Amino acid sequence: MTIQFNDESFRDDYTFHNSDWAIKRFPFPFHEDSYMYSVNMEQHRGGPEGSVYEMRFDVDEHYVSEMKDRAMVLDQDPLRCQSLPHMTLAGWDLLELIMVSKSEDYPELFELHRNGNQWRWINKPLGIDHSFTFMDETTLPYGPMEYITRQAQGDFAVLDQRDEMLWMDAGMVTTQADWSLDFDIGMNFFEWHAPVPKAHEMGIFQRALKFLLNIQQGAPARRLNWTMTVNPLLDTSPENYHKWGIQKTTLTPENIAHKQHLRVELQTFFRLPRSNALVFPIRCYLCSFQDLMTVPKWGRRLHRVIRDLPEELATYKGFIDNRPMMLDYLSQFDDGLPTSPGIWPDLETEPPLSK
Amino acid sequence: MSKFEFPKSIASRPVWGTLEVRPGEHHLMIAEAEGAEAILDIATPDLMAKTHLIYIPKGTDYVERLQALKPAQFYEGPSYEASLQRIRRVLEDAHMGLQVYLTGSESMMGQAMNEVMAVGLPHTAIQTEHRGSVARRMQCVHCKGITEDVEVDPFVCAHCGLNLFVRDHYSRRLAAYQGVRVDAEDHGNVPEPKGIYE
């Protein structure tokens, strides 16, 4: 299909919106009526046609506007993109992975022409036609990781692997759920996850690390993660938390339907061939409560998940104060009927709301 | 007693050890304030004869006792910052096998550890022991400024003036804990500061 790119904002006047197409393909993160941490990894080898799982790097209607938002964040704070000196090779690996994947998966939008190390990259949505020499940094306007991730939705953590451990040694992080690359860069897997409650005691990170260390070239993996965001704000960074935190208090029963957003991360993991680094794209999808409620199954389920979520998790995810208001709203869409297993909307088979 | 038992915390928070004498031809000790006691605890004439001791008293009164240990080299610095160029110069000449002993505040140990690692010495050559002040070196996540000697939570960022709460999340690269605006969701509602471990 041809993607119509939205002209929209993720700040100030918040004109961000999802089309019906985007709502139906939203990666709803709950496969059952409750939620607890798990190492919910699966192979990233495509998925249903049109779903966010289908392509290696999903491109959707928000692409162009998200890239503009990223450029704004980087203008204000260049520390959101950093790479320790030994990570340049991994940056080239990433550039190759994204260019090859996008040109193969979206030939009408992206083209890559390679003649030895002489490469020509055409990015039609962003109006880029650039010839450069692969592995020669002087032929790019930025380092290779920054160059390509200014053209790819989602955050990117590039993890070095040594001593049976992963190290957060490079990244492009402008759409993060409240963690700081500048603070965390150089940390190991356990250190950068240290603030997450409960999961350490549950052995989640030990098992996840074991899985990730063994990811092979050509066999990427994926999982979903989620949180809540008031307003469709991409840049929920700790750096700017002193400015955006107050927005959480602007929620009212009148505006919650369009102001409160479920924020879902499609996390994928790819082994990079030359550096043996692991790239960890964290793609953020936002959907307002009112748009989610157009899918009866999701309405029923979201109410049950938020209602039964342990207090510690609601606190960590930053919505404990707003939870009662969320439940007042969401309960209108829960008629008590059972829900089908899995994350898909199942619009044809799930009954409409009977309330 | 200058030893403090830190409460169990998250995985990024450093855990400090207890100094012990290690074999080796060359020893570098960097001690701050009550860290002197950790040195006095392990000092032997043989060890000190092979030791360069850099000491930052910070208002304490241990200099004479340390000098009486007869270290091969002794330097008294008025502050860590003032001693830093000397520390770097000493590390420039460091050979593999140099044993490093760091003792004092978390701030000093964290920063000095980075200097030692920067010249390529393995982390296994570094021992640490916390003594004295439990104050923290804090980075403001908003303005990136470092505030030293933070004893209370919340505290005021010395650079941007925001009221920050003290997290246990720690960056070894910055040798600092993270400070985050405490009243971000309710401007002006700043809790009464209390000691970090109270």
Residue ranges covered by each domain of chain A = 20-333
Residue B90, pLDDT > 60, answer yes
ipTM: 0.91
Task: Convert the pLDDT of each residue in A322-345 to its tens digit.
Answer: 999 999 999 999 999 999 999 999
Q: Which residues pair with B136 in a beta bridge?
A: B150
Query: DSSP for A78-114?
Result: GGGEEE-GGGHHHHHHHHHHHHHHHHHH-TTTEEEEE
Shortest alpha-carbon distance between residue A321 and chain B (Å): 10
Closest CA to A228 of A111, A317, A118: A317
Full-model pTM: 0.94
Residue B54 pLDDT grade (very low, low, confident, very high; cuts 50, 70, 90): very high
Q: Do A12 and A240 contact (CB within 8 A), yes or no?
A: no
Shortest alpha-carbon distance between residue A86 and chain B (Å): 14
Closest CA to A134 of A185, A93, A162: A93
Closest to B185 (Cβ–Cβ): which among A184, A186, A248?
Answer: A248
The Cα A160–Cα A277 span in angstroms is: 5
Residue B17 pLDDT grade (very low, low, confident, very high; cuts 50, 70, 90): very high
Shortest alpha-carbon distance between residue A253 and chain B (Å): 18
Dig out the tokens for A207 from the structure.
């098992």
Bond before B154 cis per omega within 30 degrees: yes
List chain A residues with pLDDT less than 50.
none
Cβ of B171 and A183 within 8 Å?
yes
Cβ of A241 and B12 within 8 Å?
no
Q: Exactly one of A223, A300, A301, A323 is catalytic; which is it?
A: A223
Residue B74 pLDDT grade (very low, low, confident, very high; cuts 50, 70, 90): very high
Cβ of B142 and A241 within 8 Å?
yes
CB atoms within 10 A of CB B191: 11
- Contacts of residue B170 in chain A, CB cutoff 8 Å? 191
**β-strands A221-230, A260-271: how paired?**
antiparallel
A192 close to B (CB below 8 A): yes
Residue B2, pLDDT > 70, answer no
Cβ of A238 and B180 within 8 Å?
yes
The Cα A182–Cα B8 span in angstroms is: 25
Q: What is the pLDDT of residue A2?
A: 84
The Cα A287–Cα A17 span in angstroms is: 8
**Residues of chain B above pLDDT 70, percent:** 99
Dig out the tokens for A346 from the structure.
């199942």
DSSP alpha helix (H) spans, chain A: 20-24, 63-76, 88-105, 144-149, 181-184, 189-192, 204-213, 241-244, 256-259, 289-292, 296-308, 311-316, 323-330
A239 close to B (CB below 8 A): yes
Active site residue A80: no
Q: What is the pLDDT of residue A1?
A: 59
Measured between CA atoms, the residue of chain A closest to residue B162 is: A242
Task: Convert the pLDDT of each residue in B133-168 to its tens digit.
Answer: 999 999 999 999 999 999 999 999 999 999 999 999
Q: What is the mean pLDDT of chain B?
A: 96
- Contacts of residue B186 in chain A, CB cutoff 8 Å? 246, 249
Q: In Å, how far are A34, B24, B102 from B49, measured between CA atoms?
A: 66, 12, 18
Residue B3, pLDDT > 90, answer no
Q: What is the pLDDT of residue B106?
A: 98
A195 close to B (CB below 8 A): yes
- Contacts of residue B143 in chain A, CB cutoff 8 Å? none
Q: What is the pLDDT of residue A214?
A: 97
Domains defined for chain B, CATH in brackets: 27-130 (3.40.50.80), 136-195 (no CATH)
Measured between CA atoms, the residue of chain A closest to residue B187 is: A246
